[in-house]
C-alpha cells in the first residue's frame, strides 16, 4: 500500500508547491483511513460504534502514512522493509 501511494504520487500531484512526498502521504493517509473504516466489525449504530468512530476521528492518518513511507524505496519502486506494510 505504501509503495503504491509513492508510485501514484507522481501522477496525482495537484499543486506546483506540493512535493511527491506530500502527495504520497496524503494518498496513503486517505487509503489507510478508508481501509480501517471499511474493516469495522461494528455495522449497527450503537454507543460502541460511536465511541470507535470518535476514536478513529482523532487518529493522525497523515503521521501514520509518514512513518510507513519511511520504508519505501524511493528510487527503484520496491520496498526496503516490508514489516510495516499493511497487507490483507
> DSSP character for 80?
S
Give the per-residue pLDDT at 66. 93
What would the pLDDT profile of 50-60 be if each residue is shown by its tens digit? 998 899 999 99
Whether residue 65 is contained in a domain is answered as: yes
pTM: 0.70
Give the per-residue pLDDT at 30. 93
Whether residue 79 is contained in a domain is answered as: no
Distance of CA 14 to the CA centre of its chain: 18
Whether residue 19 is contained in a domain is answered as: yes
Q: How many domains does the chain have?
A: 1
Give the domain range for residue 23: 2-69
Give the per-residue pLDDT at 86. 46
What would the pLDDT profile of 4-51 be if each residue is shown by its tens digit? 787 777 766 566 667 888 888 999 999 999 999 888 888 888 998 899
Whether residue 77 is contained in a domain is answered as: no
Whether residue 13 is contained in a domain is answered as: yes
User: Which residue pairs from 42-49 have beta carbons closer than 8 angstroms and sit at least 24 positions apart in sequence?
Assistant: none
Amino acid at each position: 500500500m505504501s509503495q503504491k501511494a509513492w508510485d501514484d504520487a507522481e501522477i496525482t500531484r495537484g499543486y506546483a508547491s506540493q512535493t511527491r512526498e506530500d502527495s504520497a502521504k496524503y494518498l496513503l493517509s486517505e487509503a489507510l483511513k478508508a481501509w480501517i473504516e471499511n474493516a469495522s466489525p461494528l455495522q449497527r449504530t450503537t454507543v460502541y460504534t460511536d465511541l470507535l468512530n470518535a476514536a478513529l476521528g482523532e487518529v493522525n492518518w497523515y503521521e501514520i502514512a509518514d512513518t510507513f513511507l519511511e520504508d519505501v524505496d524511493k528510487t527503484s519502486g520496491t520496498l526496503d522493509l516490508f514489516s510495516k506494510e499493511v497487507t490483507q
